[in-house]
Amino acid sequence: QSKVLTIGEVLVEIVATERGNGFREPVKLIGPFPSGAPAIFIDQVGKLGQAAAIISRVGDDDFGHVNLDRLKSDGVDVSGIDVDPLGTTGSAFVRYREDGGRNFVFNIRHSACGSIEIKGPAAALVETCTHMHVMGSSLYAPSVVEAILKATRRIKAKGGTVSFDPNLRAEILNSPGMREALAIVLGETDLFLPSGEELFLFSPADSEKEAVANLLKGGVKAVVLKRGAAGASYFDATREVSLPGFKVTEVDPTGAGDCFGATFVTFWLAGADPETALRYANAAGAKAVTRSGPMEGASTRAELDALIAEQRT
């Protein structure tokens, strides 16, 4: 049976209840919500009943336990989350602006997940996994980059597969070694899941078609392009499938890409055809934006079936 692994930040999100610009003035907050792009991704994989695991590090504090409890209850193997008695779990303060954008204050780099190592239970866990999912946003610290590259190469060497969501924020793209690490990951990637302009990040081109062709020529087996509310497209050497997004009311966009990716990967690993995988992934992305809180948007298979049935034309 396949088992999906991801590695990276586990943190809590604390959200301002009123829109506005940042945190220079006192504002009411709500939280903690379990969060971190890899954590949201793997929670959605677990919720679909697919074997799933995450390697990370948290402090032995309430913020860490909020995440451990949620992931465990959604079926994720958390044996690779090191609970550091001397560490602190990362946090992010988030405030939505009137224009729909977001301001963040992050406390990740100096928190427990600022260093992640593949040893002990985490090393044993890698041996049980058959698929690695890499989040570009997780390549934020040298030890984490090293852990991700080590697990990615090991799983690939065992005959496993790799998916890669660049999930990049401009502020981390230029951190030291980031572009090199991203290029190494891309070289191991079977399934590439960019969003919008991220398609051109590693393959500058005048058109989508040309960018996709370059990626496929470089060894990527399939590209899944996320297009926000407009839906998504799938490309491989012989097929191209595009499906529109589901019509929903957006409440909180956080986690849409992670839930979409998790669902696509789960269906792809189960051997679903691209159209089916894309339809379920679109449904998961749409469900994610209808709920506030980063990880609150993950759906069960029954919830995805219900949305698909409701909007079937």
Q: Are strands 232-236 and 222-226 parallel, antiparallel or unpaired?
A: antiparallel
| Interacting residues toward ligand ATP by CB under 6 A | 167, 195, 226-229, 231-232, 245-246, 248, 250, 253, 255-258, 260, 282, 285-286, 289
Amino acid identity, residue 3?
K
CB of 311 to ligand ATP, least distance (A): 10
257 Cβ contact partners less than 8 Å away, ≥ 6 residues apart: 165, 167, 193, 195, 226, 285
CB of 262 to ligand ATP, least distance (A): 11
What single DSSP character describes residue 297?
Answer: G
CB of 95 to ligand ATP, least distance (A): 16
Task: Name which of 112 and 295 has its Cβ closer to ligand ATP.
Answer: 295
CA distance 264 to 241: 13
Task: Name which of 82 and 296 has its Cβ closer to ligand ATP.
Answer: 296
Q: Measured between alpha carbons, how far is residue 91 from residues 57, 107, 164 in Å? A: 13, 5, 24
Task: Name which of 122 and 191 has its Cβ closer to ligand ATP.
Answer: 191
CB of 294 to ligand ATP, least distance (A): 9
Task: Name which of 87 and 255 has its Cβ closer to ligand ATP.
Answer: 255
Place of tokens 């679903």: 272
Amino acid identity, residue 117?
E
CB of 305 to ligand ATP, least distance (A): 16
288 Cβ contact partners less than 8 Å away, ≥ 6 residues apart: 254, 255, 256, 258, 259, 260, 297, 298, 299
Place of tokens 């919720």: 47
Task: Name which of 80 and 297 has its Cβ closer to ligand ATP.
Answer: 297
